[in-house]
Structures are given as structure tokens and as C-alpha cells.
């Protein structure tokens, strides 16, 4: 009996070594942790239960049959994050570069199936050279099996991908179908084809970092939702994000203990809006003052800064925030900001997370760049996402709400539940200057007349009261009491029930 137990431990020890000490050292030398070290940091201490530790590949081509390491390049299982269940796979770069074989894929599929059955999220720690070259079509099939599960799980359980090494080919498409992708600066890359192939096909000379590093994907392509300094920071930030999310689409997000008075009054907000309507201010200040303990988890902070999205808690409950940012492009909507916010709104709606929308928007960004890029269709994504969302929706207009952008930003007309405005709100088709130039073109050479017309327009429209008269604004509120009003609004909506008509699925303008 003792021998058998020793044999088990010997085999376990071998499995834990993955591709061997030399490759583990190489992984460390690059500033990367191993697959198992990452799981240890991600999950609660001692909570990890591993599956399939002894799985080995069954391939016989290119002499690979002589090398059959336990685990086959991925560590899978489940554990907890702050006591809540999660399934995890962590690719082991020390085994065939973390490449995906038929059996490697089967291990991932197994935990994805269990996650779906048991209603718990999946976190994938990706560090993979893509399809295992020696296995050919078997590994492509394995990828497709994972993709199909990503698709079925979408909107049912949260799926989070962390890119922690070079991820090429198929290794990027599975993350692409998950809810969030995070990267690690300087050690992670994502590309469909690497720099060498790019050079051969297009003659472009580009480094891996330029082609698919964290900066590229968080600032240019928007493929990634954020990037962290190193593995340790990435994993601790994923734990933080996890706490905001529900386990599945049938459960609510967890309520965390809070020590911040929901009725907290913030007199400083009364002077947040500058006297000059063309002067910017930082919308993040308002978000921090509404949130419990000022805690805000921002998503895609380095992309399309004219809109801010992320999670806060109010009375301990998760709320998704979408806010125009007057500091960037005057807070206008454009292609990038519409896409960014639309995806976020749909995530919140899929997982029953209420949405707070803070509005200061001068309209859609004009120009050929926008029109040729399809701003009509991309702007429609956000409009569509808000309109179909059935979760509680609370909106606060702080200043400008002009034109179509007024409609789009969770207006009353898109089934906003509480639509508040500050007294500084201006709700109109456009700003006074633009309006007067169109309506009184023949008087443009008479400055005094134009000034009087502008004043007249401002008096009539540069306020929230016309909209309030019509019931499009439920109440004009004091800026200082915003947290209290918003908290009470969400509290009153906890039992909200609203369903869209039956359909197979919608046809959002992709």
C-alpha cells in the first residue's frame, strides 16, 4: 500500500514539473509564472481541485510519441475566489509551448461543460503557441470544440481570458469570444499570424510587440479590455473583477458589505460643472462620488476615452456605469465609443447587472472619417443595446444631451426607468450657436441680432425643464444628492420585471 501511495506522489511530482525544470527556469527568466503558480495566485488558498492531471496526448507523428508529459500542456480544474466557485484552465508553456492538442482541448472542454452544468464562470489563463503543429487537423478540431463551447456559454456564465504569453492562431480566437480579455504588459502577445508571416505576405516589418502587444490591443485594436504590469498584478485584478460579477445568468451579482452611507451628500458636486459650457470636467470624479467607497473597476480605460465604462457598487450591489467623458473629444459619441459602450451594456444586460448612465454628450462626431467608417451602424449598436436591455436603467444628465446622442444615452424613450437631470442640463437638438446659424442664416452678418437669437435659444432650450415638462425627465435633482437619488432609484427597481417579445435572437447591427 505504501508503495502505491508513493507511486501516486511520484507521478504527481512528475506532472507538476510540466515540461521540466529547464523550461520552468526559462519561463521565470522571462518574468512569467508557471501555469500552476498562476492558479495558486488566482484562487483562494488550498481551494484548487485539479482534473485530468495524468492526461497525455495520443499523437504518434513526428516522433512526438516518445514525449508524453502528464497534463499535456494545460492545468484544469475548479476552485474558489473569495469563496465563490470558478472553473479554470491554465496553459503550460513549458509543455510544447502550451500548444493545443486533441487531448489538451478535451481537458478544456470538460471543465467548460462542468461550468455550464454547475453555473460557474470560466477563467482561462492563456499562454499558447496555438494549434499543436504535430497533430494537424486533430488540433484544429479541438479548437473548434472549444469555440463552440465559448459560444454556447456566452451570456450564460461569465468567461474571462487572461493572455499571459505569446498567443497565436487559434489561441486568440477562443479568448475573442469570451466576455473580457486582459493582457500582461511586455510578456503577452495576441495575433492571428505572427511577424514572420506578416513580412512574407505583406512585406511589413513589425515586432511582436507592435503587432500584438498589450499596448496595441488596449489602445488601437480594442481587442483587450485592460493590461497589467505583471502576472501577479493581473491575477489579483482578475480576483477583484470576479467579485463584481454573478456566477451565471440566473443569479444576481453578490452583495458585498459596504461602509459608505447610501444617502451621502456631496456638496462638491454642485460646482463640478464649469460656468463655461465649453470647458471640460472629469466625469470620473462624479463616478467616484456616486460609488460605494469610491471604488470603480474600469474596463477599456485606454481605448475610446470619450466614453467611460466599468463597474461600481451602490449599497453593496454591482452597477455597470456608462458615462460620457467631456475631457476627451468633448465626450462626443463616435465609432469607437459606441462599440465600446454597446458591448458593455450587452454584458450587463445578459448578466442582470443594472446600468447607470451619466450623460454629457454634444452629439455624434461629424466627418468623413466617421461616416466612411460606418458610424451610422456602429452608433446604432449602442442605441440597440440600450433599447433591448431590460435591466434597471438609471440615467443622470449632467450637462449636454444633444441630438441623437440624447436619445441613445439611455433616454426615457429607450425604457429608462429613472431619468434624472441636474439643473445644469441642456437637452436640445443641438447647441445654441449651431442652431442659430442654421435657423437665422440670413442674419449672420448682424452680430447683435445673432447674439440676441442665441440668448433666446439658450433661455428656451439650455435647461432641463422643457424635457421635464414633457415627462422625459422624471426629476431635476441637486448634484450634491446624486448618490442618494441614484441609490434609492436602484433600490426601488430591485424587483423590476420586463421581458422582450419572444424571438430566436435579435439582429443587432454588427
What are the residue numbers of the active site? 169-170, 404-405
Which CB atom, from 26 or from 350, has the smaller least distance to ligand HXC?
26
Whole-angstrom Cα distance, residue 5 to residue 278? 74
* Residue from the set 133, 350, 476, 493 that interacts with ligand HXC by CB under 6 A: 133
Chain centroid offset of residue 468 CA: 33
Range in contact with ligand HXC (rule: CB under 6 A) among 162-170, 275-283, 380-388, 478-486:
162-170
Q: Nearest to residue 178, comparing CAs of 207, 200, 146, 206?
A: 146
Closest distance to ligand HXC from the beta carbon of 50 (Å): 22
Which CB atom, from 94 or from 463, has the smaller least distance to ligand HXC?
94
Are 130 and 163 spatial neighbours (Cβ–Cβ below 8 Å)? no
* Residue from the set 41, 44, 113, 173 that interacts with ligand HXC by CB under 6 A: 173
Closest distance to ligand HXC from the beta carbon of 492 (Å): 47
3-state secondary structure of 282: coil
Residue 254 makes contact with ligand HXC by CB under 6 A: no
Are 216 and 149 spatial neighbours (Cβ–Cβ below 8 Å)? no
Residue 164 makes contact with ligand HXC by CB under 6 A: no
Say which residues have a Cβ less than 8 Å from residue 105's Cβ, sequence separation at least 6.
Answer: 139, 141, 142, 143, 145, 146
Residue 170 makes contact with ligand HXC by CB under 6 A: yes
Residues 72-131 that bind ligand HXC (CB under 6 A): 96-97, 99, 129-131
Which CB atom, from 69 or from 77, has the smaller least distance to ligand HXC?
69
Which CB atom, from 140 or from 269, has the smaller least distance to ligand HXC?
140
* 81 phi/psi in degrees, rounded to 5: -120, 115
Residue 142 makes contact with ligand HXC by CB under 6 A: no
Lay out the site mask for ligand HXC across 452-481 (x = CB under 6 A, - = otherwise).
Answer: ------------------------------
* Residue from the set 88, 111, 140, 408 that interacts with ligand HXC by CB under 6 A: 140
What are the distances in angstroms from CA 395 to CA 173, 324, 410? 35, 12, 6
Whole-angstrom Cα distance, residue 356 to residue 395? 6
Residue 132 makes contact with ligand HXC by CB under 6 A: yes
Say which residues have a Cβ less than 8 Å from residue 273's Cβ, sequence separation at least 6.
Answer: 281, 398, 399, 422, 424, 479
Closest distance to ligand HXC from the beta carbon of 170 (Å): 3
DSSP 457-503: HHHHHSSSHHHHHTTSSSEE--GGGHHHHHHHHHHHTTT----PPP-
- Provide the strand spans (E) within 98-173: 122-126, 159-163, 166-168
Residue 158 makes contact with ligand HXC by CB under 6 A: no
Closest distance to ligand HXC from the beta carbon of 332 (Å): 37
Which CB atom, from 80 or from 210, has the smaller least distance to ligand HXC?
210
* Residue from the set 166, 212, 226, 387 that interacts with ligand HXC by CB under 6 A: 166
Residues 370-429 that bind ligand HXC (CB under 6 A): none
Handedness of CA 65, 71, 73, 74 (dihedral sign): positive
Closest distance to ligand HXC from the beta carbon of 378 (Å): 25
Which CB atom, from 129 or from 354, has the smaller least distance to ligand HXC?
129
* Residue from the set 194, 326, 354, 416 that interacts with ligand HXC by CB under 6 A: 194
Closest distance to ligand HXC from the beta carbon of 208 (Å): 7
Q: Nearest to residue 322, comparing CAs of 347, 294, 351?
A: 347
Which contacts of 206-215 are long-range, i.e. CB under 8 A and separated by 24 or more positions? 208/166, 213/183, 213/185, 213/186, 213/188, 213/189, 214/183, 214/184, 214/185, 214/186, 214/188, 215/185
Residues 18-77 that bind ligand HXC (CB under 6 A): 23
Whole-angstrom Cα distance, residue 357 to residue 275? 23
Residue 169 makes contact with ligand HXC by CB under 6 A: yes
Counting Cα atoms < 13 Å in the Cβ hemisphere of 274 gives: 10
3-state secondary structure of 270: helix
Closest distance to ligand HXC from the beta carbon of 47 (Å): 30
The footprint of ligand HXC (CB under 6 A) covers 23, 96-97, 99, 129-133, 140, 143, 166, 168-170, 173, 194
Amino acid at each position: 500500500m505504501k508503495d502505491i501511495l508513493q507511486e501516486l506522489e511520484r507521478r504527481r511530482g512528475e506532472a507538476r514539473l510540466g515540461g521540466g525544470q529547464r523550461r520552468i527556469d526559462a519561463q521565470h527568466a522571462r518574468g512569467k509564472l508557471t501555469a500552476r503558480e498562476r492558479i495558486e495566485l488566482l484562487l483562494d488558498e488550498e481551494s484548487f481541485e485539479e482534473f485530468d492531471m495524468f492526461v497525455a496526448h495520443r499523437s504518434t507523428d513526428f516522433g512526438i510519441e516518445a514525449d508524453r508529459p502528464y497534463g499535456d500542456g494545460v492545468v484544469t480544474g475548479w476552485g474558489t475566489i473569495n469563496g465563490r466557485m470558478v472553473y479554470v484552465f491554465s496553459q503550460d508553456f513549458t509543455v510544447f509551448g502550451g500548444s493545443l492538442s486533441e487531448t489538451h482541448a478535451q481537458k478544456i472542454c470538460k471543465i467548460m461543460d462542468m461550468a455550464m452544468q454547475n453555473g460557474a464562470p470560466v477563467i482561462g489563463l492563456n499562454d499558447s503557441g496555438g494549434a499543436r503543429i504535430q497533430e494537424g487537423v486533430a488540433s484544429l478540431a479541438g479548437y473548434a470544440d472549444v469555440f463552440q463551447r465559448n459560444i454556447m456559454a456566452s451570456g450564460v456564465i461569465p468567461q474571462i481570458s487572461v493572455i499571459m504569453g505569446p498567443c497565436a492562431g487559434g489561441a486568440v480566437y477562443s479568448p475573442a469570444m469570451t466576455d473580457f480579455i486582459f493582457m500582461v504588459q511586455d510578456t503577452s502577445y495576441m495575433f492571428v499570424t505572427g511577424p514572420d508571416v506578416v513580412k512574407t505576405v505583406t512585406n511589413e516589418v513589425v515586432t511582436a510587440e507592435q503587432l500584438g502587444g498589450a499596448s496595441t490591443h488596449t489602445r488601437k485594436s480594442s481587442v483587450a479590455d485592460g493590461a497589467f504590469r505583471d502576472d501577479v498584478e493581473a491575477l489579483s485584478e482578475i480576483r477583484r473583477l470576479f467579485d463584481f460579477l454573478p456566477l451565471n445568468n440566473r443569479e444576481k451579482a453578490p452583495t458585498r458589505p459596504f461602509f459608505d452611507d447610501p444617502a451621502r451628500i456631496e456638496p462638491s458636486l454642485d460646482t463640478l460643472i464649469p460656468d463655461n459650457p465649453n470647458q471640460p470636467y472629469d466625469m470620473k470624479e462624479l463616478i467616484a462620488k456616486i460609488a460605494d467607497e469610491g471604488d470603480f473597476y474600469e474596463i477599456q480605460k485606454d481605448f475610446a476615452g470619450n466614453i467611460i465604462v466599468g463597474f461600481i457598487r451602490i449599497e453593496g450591489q454591482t452597477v455597470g456605469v456608462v458615462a460620457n467623458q467631456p475631457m476627451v473629444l468633448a465626450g462626443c459619441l463616435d465609432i469607437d465609443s459606441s462599440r465600446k459602450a454597446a458591448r458593455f451594456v450587452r454584458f450587463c444586460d445578459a448578466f442582470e447587472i443594472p446600468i447607470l448612465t451619466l450623460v454629457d454628450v454634444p452629439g455624434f462626431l461629424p466627418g468623413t472619417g466617421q461616416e466612411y467608417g460606418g458610424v451610422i451602424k456602429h452608433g446604432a449598436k449602442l442605441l440597440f443595446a440600450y433599447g433591448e436591455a431590460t435591466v434597471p436603467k438609471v440615467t443622470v444628465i449632467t450637462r449636454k444631451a444633444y441630438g441623437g446622442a440624447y436619445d441613445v444615452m439611455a433616454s426615457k424613450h429607450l425604457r429608462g426607468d429613472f431619468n434624472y437631470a441636474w439643473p445644469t442640463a441642456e437637452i436640445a437638438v443641438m447647441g445654441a450657436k449651431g442652431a442659430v446659424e442654421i435657423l437665422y442664416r440670413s442674419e449672420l452678418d448682424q452680430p447683435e441680432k445673432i447674439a440676441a437669437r442665441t440668448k433666446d435659444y439658450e433661455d428656451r432650450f439650455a435647461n432641463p425643464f422643457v424635457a421635464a415638462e414633457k415627462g422625459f425627465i422624471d426629476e431635476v435633482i441637486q448634484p450634491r444628492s446624486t448618490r442618494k437619488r441614484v441609490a434609492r432609484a436602484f433600490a426601488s427597481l430591485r424587483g423590476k420585471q420586463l421581458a422582450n417579445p419572444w424571438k430566436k435572437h435579435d439582429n443587432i447591427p454588427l
